[in-house]
Structure 1
Amino acid sequence: MRLRILVFLLLLSVSLLVPSPLAAQTSAEPTTQVQTDSNSQQHSAYSLSPEKLERAIAYSRIRVILDFAGSGWGILQLILLLGLGVVAKMRNVAIHLSRNRWAQGFAFIFLLLAVTTALDLPLDLYGHHAAVVYGQSVQGWGSWAWDAVKSFLLTLVFGGLLVMLLFWVIRKSPSRWWFWFWIPAMVAVLIGVFVAPVLIDPLFNKFEPLEKTNPALVERLEKVVARGGIHIPPDRMYLMKASEKVTTLNAYVTGYGASKRVVVWDNSVNKATPDEISFIFGHEMGHYVLNHIPATLIFLGILLLVEFYIGFRGVRWLIARYGSRWKIASQNDWGALVVLLLVLAVLSFFSEPIVNGYSRMHEHEADVYGQEAIHGIVSDPQKVAQQSFQLLGELSLTDPNPNPFVEFWSFSHPSVASRAAFAEKYNPWVAGGHPKYFAK
């Protein structure tokens, strides 16, 4: 997981605010939650031509290297910035700039964010280059750079406000800040999930009413929505112009309450059949109907509270041992933010398998739900689901045989091969079968 300075709180919300394609995960596909009879069954359900397989293996290797290198480099750069005295110098610049704490805080945050962004830039540039070379992205460098600038500014503003709140809580409760800060942090996540579809997403992608361009698809999705027992009127269904940046597919539900909406990528409309879009959407709708979002908030909230407490203990210990060398006197020092980020970055890396394992469980449940949700709407749910994974895997250049350790550590979804194999044989509507989420 790539470290982003000042986003240690937003890491919790990013997984909720930025929906990932059903099969286009970051490194490759993770350990399956579904046991199949043999590898040959998986390979028959999802396979690639020799030429595409070679490209998929090469691209998956690049993504794995970038993933682990990004995590390691994120931790190492913080150690170097502390050990070389760069953090102390940035802190001095900030406090000499003004006596006002707000001015000091945002000056320090800007310098820290600028330095770490520059240090991350080589990996980011190569990652986008690889995505373009392997046909995963069609975004030009100018557009990519503008998105990076917008992300920087959003992180500076909202991350800066959270950091100012953090140091205020530290001053008010030096020994309990880890708990008192956790409460508004969780509130911030809830607010972020609510406003992201309305305020954040439109900054990075173009949206238009789906009914305007594809009324037939709206009618089809309304049938899937009705089966799920949720209410999303047609005027909350949108087409996202994903084709301006990426080549993969997706359809999902985002937001909650007044901000809840359906989003279908234009790539999905152009490359997938209405039946396949229905399944992809049914999977994403399953996350909502099965209450995966509140469950994930609770799970990650508890994990975040534990990490905050360990962060509190770790910051005190590190400052006591290395504070004089780093020229950071106490946890009230602006430089203590980097010490906290270092502890949280290490914790984030080692907790990754826990978070991903939890995610894989939910993803499998959503697969089952999606296949059951389209029963009666499409003629052959098994074939549609299997073909959806085949299409998504081909477009995402997903390796059918990912490394087991990489699967365990870094993948948030079951493998495409295992998901396709499960979909192909999952048929609870036969005599004696019992669907898990719908009445027969």
Structure 2
Amino acid sequence: MARKIGFFSVLAYIIYGFLIYFYLFYGADTSIPFEYEGTSADPTIFLNGKELMLSEEYSKIRDLLFFLSTPFEWLVYLMILLFGLSKAFKRWAEQSSRFRFIQTAIYLIWLSFFAFVATFPLSYISYSFSKSYNISTQTFASWMKDELIDFWINYGMMLIIVSVLYWLIQKSKKRWWLYAWLLSIPFTLFIMFVNPVLIDPLYNDFYPLKNKELETKILKMADKANIPADHVFEVNMSEKTNALNAYVTGIGSNSRIVLWDTTLNRLSEDEILFIMAHEMAHYVEKHIYIGIGGYLLLSLVGLYLSARLMNWAINHYGEALKLSTVQDIRSLPLFLMILSMLLFISDPFSNIVSRYQEARADTYAIEMTDNPNAAISTFQELSRAGLNQVKPPLLVKIFRYSHPTMLERMTMIEEYGLKKSIERQQ
């Protein structure tokens, strides 16, 4: 049975990969609708021939790697179970110590290391590919450092989560998912609170905006929007990427508005102010807290479904998976695989909410700045810097786009400008 499950799982992954490849490279329509040709949203207007070609190539390969990576992770966890590696990890852990917490730590380091090694080739391909298209400027040593930081941060958090999770499973086989969710609420809020000051600085250097004249203008906008802000932060991302970005992070007193230095270097002052107004909208409309609420709701549903699916999988395929009970830490790869599947399935729904919030933020920003030309040029430069498709394939938009497409964003700005022009004439 184990060989049969493994064979058909690998076969399904290969077929899935070919279908995704065919869809992205031959089946998907990324052409601009006729009515938008010649407008500011038409990439032939603001990108030259080489940039258009690179944008299409880069987007297709990047999207292919995305759709291959997550299911590959599921396959890795499944093979760990089918080949008895999870059982071996537990045996090695028990042979190393008689203390339960240390056993969990040793089991988890083996599992994490094996998963890291198995998925490393795809991660490296993604990095190398991004570098070849001049999106990434990061050296291999710097990239590898970030990968290792990721590994140890994830390991540390997983050690806490897994230790508590399996203690709860042993105490309450039926309701562990509910107790785990209740404990996840303060844990999630704590991580979000400390992330800007403890975790983010491990990857990059953050400091108050150096351009004090620009900072004054941004803070004046913040005051107009009733946002209590003393600083705008910039981060030295030019050492790692040529892409542009700005974002809001953290909660409470640790919340920050952050600008990448690439954004500061490549955009005009009016364009930066438009981006800042967009980020301020997330604060004004409390999108961060809405997002936390949505995440907690999804995690509740996800933990409940994970509990049900784990019991079903062990009852029907326990022998092949070499599992007899959910309480055994050997079931962790099964839990991680199911949770990853549920997150993947939920992406389209969370992206719908996110795209709505981002559209609201765009509307807020254009109304605050009343500068359609700066907004349009901002989106055009974002497309050029990131080699983003203006109109991505539908499947890519559904699963990957937490923001409206550039076609949708620029079209909205054009409509706003036209509306304002008509109002002024009247």
Q: Answer yes or no: is 1:412 the counterpart of 2:402.
A: yes
How far does residue 337 in structure 1 lie from its aligned partner after superposition? 1.2
Bigger Rg, structure 1 or 2: 2
> How far apart are the structure 2 equivalents of 1:370 and 1:37?
28
Aligned residue for 1:137?
Answer: 136
Amino acid at match of 2:117: A
Structure 2 unaligned spans of 5+ = 1-23, 25-32
Aligned-pair CA distance for 1:39: 3.2
What's the counterpart of residue 301 of structure 2?
306
What is the number of equivalent residue pairs in this alignment?
391
User: How high is the TM-score relative to the length of structure 2?
Assistant: 0.87
Q: C-alpha separation between the residues in 2 aligned to 1:347 and 1:94?
A: 29
Structure 1: unaligned runs, 5 residues or longer: 1-26, 28-35, 376-380, 434-440
Counterpart of 1:288 in structure 2 is 283
1:401 matched to 2:400? The reply is no
Structure 1 residue 417, shift from structure 2 partner:
2.0
**Whole-Å separation in 2 of the counterparts to 1:70 and 1:94:** 29
Q: Deviations over 1:153-188 (max 9, x none)?
A: 111111210111111111222100111101121221
Aligned equivalent of 2:189: 190
Does residue 224 (structure 1) correspond to residue 214 (structure 2)? The answer is no
8 A contact 1:46–1:400 mirrored in 2: no
Instruction: Give how far 1:215 is off.
Output: 0.6
Output the CA distance in 2 between the equivalents of 1:355 and 1:312. 22
Equivalent position of 1:331 in the other structure: 326
Question: SS of 2:233's equivalent?
Answer: strand
Partners in 2 of 1:265 and 1:385 — Cα distance? Answer: 18
Measure, in 1, the Cα distance between the counterparts of 2:385 and 2:337.
Answer: 36
1:300 shift after superposition: 2.0
Q: Cα offset for 1:101?
A: 0.9
- Structure 2 residue 374 is matched with structure 1 residue 387: no
Percentage of identical aligned residues:
31
Partner Cα separation in structure 2 for residue 46 and residue 293 of structure 1: 35
Residue 141 (structure 1) shift: 0.3
Match of 2:99 in 1: 100
Query: Could you give the per-residue CA deviations for residues 23-67 of structure 1, whole angstroms, max 9, x where no partner exists?
Result: xxxx9xxxxxxxx99332431797421110100000001111111
Q: In structure 1, what is the equivalent of residue 171 of structure 2?
A: 172
- What is the aligned partner in structure 2 of residue 278 from structure 1? 273
Tell me the equivalent position of 1:39.
36
Q: Could you tell me which amino acid in structure 2 is paired with residue 206 of structure 1?
A: D
The one-character-per-residue Cα deviations of 1:175-211 (angstroms, maximum 9, x if unpaired) are: 001111011212211111111110011100012221x
| CA–CA distance in structure 1, aligned partners of residues 177 and 83 of structure 2 | 28
Shift in alpha-carbon separation, 1:262–1:196, aligned structure 2, 3 A? same
Q: Is the 8 A contact 1:94 1:107 kept in 2?
A: yes
Q: Does 1:265 align with 2:256?
A: no
Give the TM-score normalised by the residue count of structure 1.
0.85
* Whole-Å separation in 1 of the counterparts to 2:78 and 2:248: 40
| 1:117 corresponds to | 116
Residue 35 of structure 2 aligns with an amino acid whose one-letter code is S
Q: Choose the corresponding residue for 1:349, options 340, 344, 347.
A: 344
- On the 8 A contact 1:250/1:265 being kept in 2, the answer is yes
Greater fraction of residues in helix: 2
Q: Using CA pairs below 8 Å that are at least 6 residues apart, which structure has the higher relative contact order?
A: 1
Separation (CA, whole Å) in 2 of partners of 1:44 and 1:130:
23
Kindly indicate whether the alpha-carbon contact (under 8 Å) linking 2:218 and 2:273 is maintained by their aligned counterparts in 1.
yes
Alignment partner of 1:239: what SS? strand
Q: 1:327 to 1:404 in 2, by over 3 A?
A: closer
* Structure 1 contact 382–425 (Cα < 8 Å) conserved: no
Deviates more, 1:337-346 or 1:48-57: 337-346
Distance (whole Å) between structure 2 residues aligned to residue 76 and residue 226 of structure 1: 51
> Is 1:321 the counterpart of 2:316 in the alignment?
yes
| Whole-angstrom CA distance in 1 between matches of 2:331 and 2:261 | 45
CA contact (8 A) 1:228 1:373 kept: no
Partner of 1:264: helix, strand, or coil? strand
Residue of structure 1 equivalent to 2:155: 156
Offset at residue 429 of structure 1 (A):
4.9
Cα distance in 1, alignment partners of residues 46 and 72 from structure 2: 34
Query: Residue 44 of structure 2 contacts residue 52 of structure 2 at CA under 8 Å; is this kept in 1?
Result: no
Give the direction of change, closer, same or farther, for the CA distance of 1:170–1:46 in structure 2 (3 Å limit): farther
